[in-house]
Amino acid sequence: MEVQGTLQDRPKVEDESAATIGADHSPSDPWRAFLDPTDSTAYLGGWLAIAGGRIATAQAGVLFLRGDAGRLGVAALWKVTEADTESYLTVAEALLRKPEPLVQRGKQGTLLGYPIDSGGAVQGVLVLSLKKQPGGRAMRALMRELHWSCGWIEARLMQGQAALGRKQASSAHLLTSLLAACDAHERFDGAALALVNAIPDLTGFDIAAVGMVRRGRVRLEALSRVAAFGKKTERVAAYETAMDEALAQGDTVAWPARPDGRQMIDAAHRSLAQALGAGALLSTPLLVRGKPEGVLLLERGRSGEEAVELAPDTLDELRLVAATLAPLLKAKHDERRLLSGRLRDLSGRGLSAVFGRRPAITLGVAALALALILPFFLPAELRVRADATVEGAEQQVAVAPVDGFLAEAPVRAGQEVRVGDVLARLDSSDLELEAAAATARIGTARQTLRDALANGDRAAAAVANADLAEAQASAELTAARLARLTVTAPIDGLVVSGDLSQRLGAPIGRGETLFEVAQQDGWRLRIDISEYDLGLVRPGQVGRAVLAGLPDAPVPFEVRTIAAVSDPGEGENRFRVEAGVTDPPSGLRPGLQGVAKIEAGRTSLAWAWLRGSIVRAQLLLWRWVP
C-alpha cells in the first residue's frame, strides 16, 4: 500500500477542467466506467459511450475539453481513433468562435457539434458523427438529449473548479497559519522554532528543520520539537550536509524520488534518511530576490515496511511555502546580528526619542556639520612625509682597477668584511703573457746593447739602450697591473651591494663599481623630499621613520643637510635630505626602505590634511589666472 505524503494531509483532488487524452476506443462496460471510474479518463469515456448510445443516429463521437493553455484537447473517444479526429476538431474550433450548436455535412456523414458551457465560457465541445441529418422534430429531440447529457460534464467541471477553490483556500490557510506562527515572535530564534513546530501540526510531515546561510554554508537554526541541540553533533552535521546539497543545486531535492521524476543528487539526503529511519525527505532553498538565504527541510516517517510516495503537487506547495516564509525569516535573522540588528534597533529607538520621528536625517546633518567644522579647531602635528632609505654613516666603493675578466668573487652583499679582505680577483693570464713578453724584450735589448758596445758602434748602442729602457718600463707597468688584480675591502663594515657570483669569466671594465661597503658603527637616512614640502624642512628638525623590514621599531632621526640639486621621481622633483639616526634599533641594515615623517610644527588638523592640495591648487590657479 502506498501512502501519499503532501504538505496538507488530505486526499489529492484532480482538476477536471484540464484536458486529458482518452483511449482510442470506448470502454467495454460504459456504465461501470461512468458510475465507478478509476480516473477522469474512464469517467469521460464511459459518459461519451452512454451519451452516444442514447442517440439512434450517432455512429461515432469525440469529446474535447480545454487544457491549461486554453486550447482544445481530446478528452474521450467513441468508435473513432485519434488519428481520424481532424474533421471533428474543425467543428469544435468553429464552436469556440461562435458557441452555438452546429451541423456540418461532410463526405463521411454529418457532424453535429454541441458546446459545453461552464461559468459563462465554453469549456468543452461534443462532436458526434450522425448517419443522416435529423429533421426538425428529430433535431429538437436530439438537442434535448444532448442538453441533459452534457449536464453531467458541466457538473463534473463545476466539481473540479470547486475542488480547485478548496485546494487554494486550504493552501492559503496553511500559509496564513505558518506566517502567523513565525511572526508571533520578535526574535529569530523564537520565530524559527515556532515555525518548525507548526509545520508538523498543519501538514502531513513529522519533522521540520530550518537552516540559514552563514559564510557560504547552511547552519541548522531550528528543529521541530527540540528546544536546544548541540551544534557539533553528527546528527546536526547530517542535517546541514543535506541542506547544503539542496543549496548547491538551487532546487528542491526529494528522497527517495521527486514526484515529477527529475533526477537530483541526493547522496546526503539518503544518508540522513538512513540515520533517521525516515520514509521521505524534502529540502528546498529559501530564496529572497533570487538569492538563497536558507533551506527548509521536511521529513516524513516510515510506517512499518510501507513505502512513502510524495503526491505530485507536493513540490509546488513546498516552493510556495518557502517563497512566502523566506523574506520574513531573512529579516528576523538579520535583526539577530549585533551591529546591523539589535544595536541598530536600540540606537534607532534612542535617536527617535531625542530627535523625533526622522532622527536619521537630523543626526546625519549634525554629524556632517561637526565633521566639517571640528578639524579646523583640533590641533595636530604637521609632519612632512617622504620616502627614506637606510645608509651607513661612512660608505665606500670598491672598483675594478684594470680591464680584465673576473676570476673569482668570494664575497657577496650581506657579508661582513674587514680591511684587506679579498672581495674579488681578476684573471691574470693575459698580464702574465705580457710580463713574459716584456722580459723577453729586455733580454734581447741587453744582448743587442752588448754586441754594439763590443763592436764599438755608438749609434747602435744608443738605440739598444733605448729599447732596453722601454722593455724595462713595460715590464714594470705589467707587474704593477698584476699587483692590482686583487680587489680588497677599503674599510671594515658590511657589503651592502655587489654580487658577482653569476659573472665569473665575464669582462670587467676599469672603474666599474664592484662592491659597496658601509660601516656598521653609524647610520644615516636618505630622505627624498617633494619640492612642495621643501619649504617646511630645515636642518635640526627631528622625526621618525618606519621601515618595511622593521615595522614595529620606529627609527628616530635628525635632519643634517639638504642637497642643493633635485632628482626627478614619481612625477615630481625631489630633493635629497640627509638625516642622522639618533637611536638605531637592533636589526638595522643598509638598504632598508620605508616612510619618514619630519616634524614641522603644530597646526590645525584641517591644514595638516589639506595643505598639500591647497599648495597645488594655488600653483594651478597662478598658472591659469592672467
Question: Mean pLDDT throughout 566-588?
Answer: 81
Query: Which pLDDT band, with edges at 50, 70 and 90, does 339 fall under?
Result: low
92 CB-near residues (< 8 Å, 6+ apart):
62, 64, 72, 113, 125, 127
Residue 258 has pLDDT above 60, yes or no: yes
DSSP-assigned beta bridge partners for residue 517? 396, 495
CATH code: domain 30-165 is: 3.30.450.40
Query: Which pLDDT band, with edges at 50, 70 and 90, does 189 fall under?
Result: confident
| Residue-level pLDDT at 346 | 61
Who has greater pLDDT, 294 or 533? 294
Q: How far apart are CA 244 and CA 459, in angstroms?
A: 111
Percent of the chain with pLDDT over 90: 1
Question: Mean pLDDT throughout 567-589?
Answer: 82
* Residues composing the chain: 626
Question: Mean pLDDT throughout 460-476?
Answer: 80
Residue 589 has pLDDT above 60, yes or no: yes
Let me know: does 450 contact 430? Beta carbons within 8 Å: no
Q: Specify the domain boundaries for CATH 2.40.30.170 within the chain.
A: 522-624
| Residue-level pLDDT at 18 | 35
Q: How far apart are CA 520 and CA 298, in angstroms?
A: 74
Residue 12 has pLDDT above 70, yes or no: no
Query: Helix, strand or coil for residue 242?
Result: helix
- Closest to 513 measured CA to CA, from 396, 603, 418, 606: 396
Q: How far apart are CA 115 and CA 126, in angstroms?
A: 6
| Residue-level pLDDT at 15 | 38
| Residue-level pLDDT at 69 | 63
For cell 549634525, name the residue: 366
* Per-residue burial over 321-360, b = 16 or more CB atoms within 10 Å of its CB, e = otherwise: bbebbbebbbebbeebeeeebeeeeeeeeeeeeeeeeebe
Question: Mean pLDDT throughout 8-16?
Answer: 37
Secondary structure (DSSP) of 158-200: HHHHHHHHHHHHHHHHHHHHHHHHHHT-SSHHHHHHHHHHHHH
| Residue-level pLDDT at 354 | 57
Let me know: does 153 contact 48? Beta carbons within 8 Å: no
Residue 249 has pLDDT above 50, yes or no: yes
Q: How far apart are CA 378 and CA 605, in angstroms?
A: 6
Helices 314-335, 188-202: crossing angle, 10 deg rounding: 160
| Of the candidate ranges 129-138, 201-210, 410-419, 615-624, the one whose mean pLDDT is the lowest | 410-419
pLDDT in tens, 88-97: 888 888 888 8
C-alpha cell at 275: 540515520
| Residue-level pLDDT at 306 | 61
Query: Which pLDDT band, with edges at 50, 70 and 90, does 106 fall under?
Result: low
Q: How far apart are CA 76 and CA 82, in angstroms?
A: 9
Q: Residue 567: phi, psi to the nearest 5?
A: -125, 130
Who has greater pLDDT, 11 or 194? 194
**Yes or no: domain 184-336 corresponds to CATH 3.30.70.380:** no
pLDDT in tens, 265-302: 888 888 888 888 888 888 889 888 888 889 999 888 87
| Residue-level pLDDT at 4 | 39
CB atoms within 10 A of CB 479: 13
Residue 3 has pLDDT above 70, yes or no: no
| Residue-level pLDDT at 23 | 41
Which CATH architecture describes the domain 522-624?
A: Beta Barrel (2.40)
Residue 211: in which H helix or E strand, if any? strand 207-214
Q: Mean pLDDT score of the chain, rounded to an integer?
A: 78
Question: Mean pLDDT throughout 187-204?
Answer: 83
Q: How far apart are CA 41 and CA 622, in angstroms?
A: 93
C-alpha cell at 469: 729602457
**What are the strands of the beta sheet with 395-399, ordered from one edge?**
395-399, 513-518, 493-497, 416-417
- Closest to 590 measured CA to CA, from 415, 418, 385: 415
Quick one: CA torsion of 496, 498, 502, 506, rounded to 10 degrees?
-170
| Of the candidate ranges 50-54, 234-238, 569-573, 615-619, the one whose mean pLDDT is the lowest | 569-573
C-alpha cell at 35: 458510475
Return the ∠ at Cα 320 (arms to 315 and 325), rounded to 5°.
125
- Closest to 599 measured CA to CA, from 526, 532, 540, 530: 540
Q: Is the dihedral of CA 610, 615, 620, 622 positive or negative?
A: positive
| Residue-level pLDDT at 359 | 63
Let me know: does 122 contact 116? Beta carbons within 8 Å: yes
Q: How far apart are CA 574 and CA 471, in angstroms?
A: 55
Helices 40-53, 136-183: crossing angle, 10 deg rounding: 160
Residue 585 is given by DSSP the state P
Question: Mean pLDDT throughout 76-83?
Answer: 83
Percent of the chain with pLDDT over 70: 85
| Residue-level pLDDT at 21 | 36
C-alpha cell at 150: 452534457
pLDDT in tens, 353-375: 556 666 667 777 778 888 888 88
Query: Which pLDDT band, with edges at 50, 70 and 90, does 71 fall under?
Result: confident
Q: How far apart are CA 284 and CA 267, in angstroms?
A: 15
| Residue-level pLDDT at 393 | 65
pTM here is 0.41
Residue 77 has pLDDT above 60, yes or no: yes
Who has greater pLDDT, 332 or 303? 332
Q: Specify the domain boundaries for CATH 3.30.450.40 within the chain.
A: 30-165, 184-336
Distance of alpha carbon 214 from the chain centroid: 14
Residue 262 has pLDDT above 70, yes or no: yes
- Closest to 443 measured CA to CA, from 464, 421, 412: 464
Distances 469 to 275, 389, 413, 434 between C-alpha atoms, Å: 108, 54, 45, 16
Query: Which pLDDT band, with edges at 50, 70 and 90, does 13 fall under?
Result: very low
Who has greater pLDDT, 348 or 392? 392
Residue 571 is given by DSSP the state T
Query: Which pLDDT band, with edges at 50, 70 and 90, does 499 fall under?
Result: confident
Residue 580 has pLDDT above 80, yes or no: yes
Q: Own/partner pairs for 418-421, CB < 8 Å, 24+ apart?
A: 418/489, 418/492, 419/488, 419/489, 419/490, 419/491, 419/492, 420/488, 420/489, 421/488, 421/489
